[in-house]
Every structure is written in structure tokens, then in C-alpha cells.
């Protein structure tokens, strides 16, 4: 073996899985499951080989090894010659396959073997019996009728030992063959078989490798051991095997024809499926168009809602102004005449505070949204408060009539202060203009505008009071 493989290769542990192309085509998924089970039990490399590569397309073995590589390390080995094939089997841990030649080789090298019969044939059991094994329990653990039986295999593999009587018969016939080969007058001297034995088998015989190749190609059984020298019978058996092979090829062709018909039916079904998928795509396209129209309608609706929101915002601003007017009116009615000077002074201080407050507006921009929300809530509260004040104002109007005389008394005083109010109004307008220039943001412009309106309303209310007093 060391003439073909390196020491590292010979020391490497692996399992041989020998399968014919026909068996793979008929039991592909089952074989894949069995290889998975074998790997999970032994946890070692799997080598797939075929001893009958002429029976079909070897790409099936390539495909199987690639898919098996998903869960274990597997390789498809293509032996270059018979010696390499026997060496691969002889150096393995165990042999799984459906070839009688593979079984003979494993037995010759004392390797465990499991055989799955490709068809019903007595030669497998006959060879095992010829090796001296007649116990059914052992035979049933080596020989299986189908791949289904091997699926639940317990891996209790027995090594088939060749009995001494069989070895003696093999040695006798081997010596007889050598004698005939050495005979120069033998007509078979230059036959292909003669050349093969001289080149392959005789060299192995000298090395003493258990006569494995002789067993591998003569297919010894217990009844055939005395007829190895009759080459005519061997040729007859070969012809019969070729006839069987032809029948198998014919059956394989018929199966391929059925497989082709099945593929044709599958293609027709796929065409129907493609057509249905195309119709589904068209339906989805129509549905997409309807969705697009719905989206356009929704965009229009959103735009109308946006316009409505803007109108509501304007209406809210107008309500805010009205509320502020009401607030000023309420405050106007609430103030007493004696507090006008105090209010004017307070407004002046408020204007100064607003000027200082305007300087800090830039820092408070981040809080403006929260402030607006609070202001909105305050406006709502003021609205409710204004309603209460309106009721109070009605009560205060009664008091105003009572104080009419007192207002007449102070009319002259108010006239004197009108000029001061006009001056303060001009001052307020100037300050408001300055605030508008300082606070350029939209929010603070609105704020200043409202404050300006508020001051104007206050002045107008003062004038109205004066007119009412007059």
C-alpha cells in the first residue's frame, strides 16, 4: 500500500461507502440519511467510491458528496485502477456497499463489511457461507435486502473470518494457476487475463496480501472452488452477468423514460404555476394602482385638513385677541379710580421688565413650545375665569352707578392726567416698536404685537371711562 499512498494517508481513519449509480438514482434521499447516521455513530471521514463507474453518470456521486459535506467531511474518490480500489477498501475502518467484489476485498483484508443487495441473488449469501459463516444472526447483521433495513442499523458489525479449509482451497487453485501461467505451451499465455494476473495479482501474491485480488475477480463460492482452472465456465458466467447487466440497463432506460415523463408533467405544472403567479402579479399591480389612487385621495384630504388647521389657528388667534380684550375690560371695571396712578406706574415698571425680559428671550427659545402650551392652558383658564368675571362685572356695574357721583368729582383730575396718558402712550408705542425690532422671531413678534394691542386697548378703555364720566 505504501507504493500508492503516503504513511499519513494510510494512518488516516475513514469509512468506505461504495454505491452503484443505479442505487443512488433510486434511493438518493435514503442513502443520504444512512450516511448521516453512520457519521453520527463513528464520527470519522466518509469516502464514497463506485466499483462500477461504467453504469452511469458519476456526477451523482459528486452531488452526494457535496451535500453530505454539509454535516460531515466527505469526499468522492475515483480509483485509477483495481489496485488503488482494493487499497482504499483494505485500509478503511468499515465497508458499506452493494458490490460482491467490495465484500470479497473487505473480507480479504479482514475489514468489517455491510452489504445491501441491489437485487435478490444467492451469490452474496453463498460467498458468506463459503467463508465458513452459516449462523443466520450473524448473516442478518451483514447482509441487508434494502436500504430501508439499514436506516435503523445498530452498527454491531461482525468481521467475516475466512476458514482454514477455504484458504487451503484458494492456495491450491492459486498454485495451479501459477503453474499454467508458467507453461509456455498454454494457449492462454497471451490473453488479457494472463497479462492482468501477471501485472497485478502475481505481484500481490508475492507480497502475501491474503490472495485478495484472486477472490475479488473469481467470485469463489463453496461449490465453485474446484472449477477455477476451467476458463470456459468463467467466460460463460461473465456472459451471463453481461446479459443481466444489459437487462438492468434496459430497466434503467425505462425508469429514466418514466422519470422524463414525470419531469415533463412537473414542467407543465410549473408552467401553470408560473401563469397563476403572473395573474397574481397582475392583480397585485391593479391593487397597487388602487392603493396609489387612495394615497392621492389621502394626500388631498391631508391638504384640506392642513388648511382647516390653519383656519383654526387664525380663529384661535382671533379668540386670543378677544380674550385679551375681555381681560382688559374686566381689569378696567375692576380698577378703582383711586388706583389709576398706581396702575400707570405699574405698567411703566412692567414695560421696563419686558425690556429686561426681551434680553433673555434668546436663551428661552428652547422652552417656547412648552411655554406656548402653558399659555394655551392659561388662556383656557382665563376664558373660564373671564366668564366668572363677566358675572362679577354685572354686579360691579351696579356699584359703578353708585359711584357715578364720585367719578364726577374726580373728572377734573382725570382731565389733567390725560396729557400724561398721551405722553405715556407715545412712550409705550416707541418701546413696542423697539421690542418688535429686537425680537425678530415669529413668536416674539406676536407677543409684542399682543402687548401693543393690550396697551392700546387699555388707553382706549381709559378714554371710554372718561367719556362715560362726561
* Among candidate residues 212, 210, 15, 14, the one with its CA nearest the CA of residue 95: 15
**pLDDT > 70 fraction of the chain, expressed in percent and rounded:** 72
Three-state DSSP class for residue 177: helix
Specify the fold of 7-227. Answer: Rossmann fold (3.40.50)
Rounded Cα distance between 42 and 155, Å, is 9
Helices (H), 335-403: 340-359, 368-402
All three cell numbers of 49:
467510491
Rounded Cα distance between 261 and 304, Å, is 64
Instruction: Look at 7-11, 120-124, 139-143, 156-160 and tell me which has the smallest mean pLDDT.
Output: 7-11
pLDDT at position 50 over 60: yes
Asked if residues 222 and 206 have their Cβ atoms less than 8 Å apart, the reply is no
Dihedral sign for Cα 167, 168, 173, 179, please.
positive
pLDDT at residue 346, rounded to an integer: 82
CA distance to 220, 356, 364, 387, per residue, from 359 (Å): 114, 5, 10, 35
Highest-scoring range by mean pLDDT, 11-15, 35-39, 347-351: 35-39
Three-state DSSP class for residue 14: strand
Strand 14-18, strand 45-49: pairing: parallel
Phi, psi of 144 (to 5 degrees): -120, 145
pTM above 0.85, yes or no: no
Query: In b/e form, how buried is each residue of 215-232, taking b as 16+ CB within 10 angstroms?
Result: bbbbbbbeebbeebeeee
193 CB neighbour count, 10 Å cutoff: 15
Rounded Cα distance between 107 and 93, Å, is 12
In tens, the pLDDT along 392-408 reads 878 877 887 777 767 67
In tens, the pLDDT along 312-327 reads 888 888 887 887 888 8
Three-state DSSP class for residue 9: helix
Amino acid at each position: 500500500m505504501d507504493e500508492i499512498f503516503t504513511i499519513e494517508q494510510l494512518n488516516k481513519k475513514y469509512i468506505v461507502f461504495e454505491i452503484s449509480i443505479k442505487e443512488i438514482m433510486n434511493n438518493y434521499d435514503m442513502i443520504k440519511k444512512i450516511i448521516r447516521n453512520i457519521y453520527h455513530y463513528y464520527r470519522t471521514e466518509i469516502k464514497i467510491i463506485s466499483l462500477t463507474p461504467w453504469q452511469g453518470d458519476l456526477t451523482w456521486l459528486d452531488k452526494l458528496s457535496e451535500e453530505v459535506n454539509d454535516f460531515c467531511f466527505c469526499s468522492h474518490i475515483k480509483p485509477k485502477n483495481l489496485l488503488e480500489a482494493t487499497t482504499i477498501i483494505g485500509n478503511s475502518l468499515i465497508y458499506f456497499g452493494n458490490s460482491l467484489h467490495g465484500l470479497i476485498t473487505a473480507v480479504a483484508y479482514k475489514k468489517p463489511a455491510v452489504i445491501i443487495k441491489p437485487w435478490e441473488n444467492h451469490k452474496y449469501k453463498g460467498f458468506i457461507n463459503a467463508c465458513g459463516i452459516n449462523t443466520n444472526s450473524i448473516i442478518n447483521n451483514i447482509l441487508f435486502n434494502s436500504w430501508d433495513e439499514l436506516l435503523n442499523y445498530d452498527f454491531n458489525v461482525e468481521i467475516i473470518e475466512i476458514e482454514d479449509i477455504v484458504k487451503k482451497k484458494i492456495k491450491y487453485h492459486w498454485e495451479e494457476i501459477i503453474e499454467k501461467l508458467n507453461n509456455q505451451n498454454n494457449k492462454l499465455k497471451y490473453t488479457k487475463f494472463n497479462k492482468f494476473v501477471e501485472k497485478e495479482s502475481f505481484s500481490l501474491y508475492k507480497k502475501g496480501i491474503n490472495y485478495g485480488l484472486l477472490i475479488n475477480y473469481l467470485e469463489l463460492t463453496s461449490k465453485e472452488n474446484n472449477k477455477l482452472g476451467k476458463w470456459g465456465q468463467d467466460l460463460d458466467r461473465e456472459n451471463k452477468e453481461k446479459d443481466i447487466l444489459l437487462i438492468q440497463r434496459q430497466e434503467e432506460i425505462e425508469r429514466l423514460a418514466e422519470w422524463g415523463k414525470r419531469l415533463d408533467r412537473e414542467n407543465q405544472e410549473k408552467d401553470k404555476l408560473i401563469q397563476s403567479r403572473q395573474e397574481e402579479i397582475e392583480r397585485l399591480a391593479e391593487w397597487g394602482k388602487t392603493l396609489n389612487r387612495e394615497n392621492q385621495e389621502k394626500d388631498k384630504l391631508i391638504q384640506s385638513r392642513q388648511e382647516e388647521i390653519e383656519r383654526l389657528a387664525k380663529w384661535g388667534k382671533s379668540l386670543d385677541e378677544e380674550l385679551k380684550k375681555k381681560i382688559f375690560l374686566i381689569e378696567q371695571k375692576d380698577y378703582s379710580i383711586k388706583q389709576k396712578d398706581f396702575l400707570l406706574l405699574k405698567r411703566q415698571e412692567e414695560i421696563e421688565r419686558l425690556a429686561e425680559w426681551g434680553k433673555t428671550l434668546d436663551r428661552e427659545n428652547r422652552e417656547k413650545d412648552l411655554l406656548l402650551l402653558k399659555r394655551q392652558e392659561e388662556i383656557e383658564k382665563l376664558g373660564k375665569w373671564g366668564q366668572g368675571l363677566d358675572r362679577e362685572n354685572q354686579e360691579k356695574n351696579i356699584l359703578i352707578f353708585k359711584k357715578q357721583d364720585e367719578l364726577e368729582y374726580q373728572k377734573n383730575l382725570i382731565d389733567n392726567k390725560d396729557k400724561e396718558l398721551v405722553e405715556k402712550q407715545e412712550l409705550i408705542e416707541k418701546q413696542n416698536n423697539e421690542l418688535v425690532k429686537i425680537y425678530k422671531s415669529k413668536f416674539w413678534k406676536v407677543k409684542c404685537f399682543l402687548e401693543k394691542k393690550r396697551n392700546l386697548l387699555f388707553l382706549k378703555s381709559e378714554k371710554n371711562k372718561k367719556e362715560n364720566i362726561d
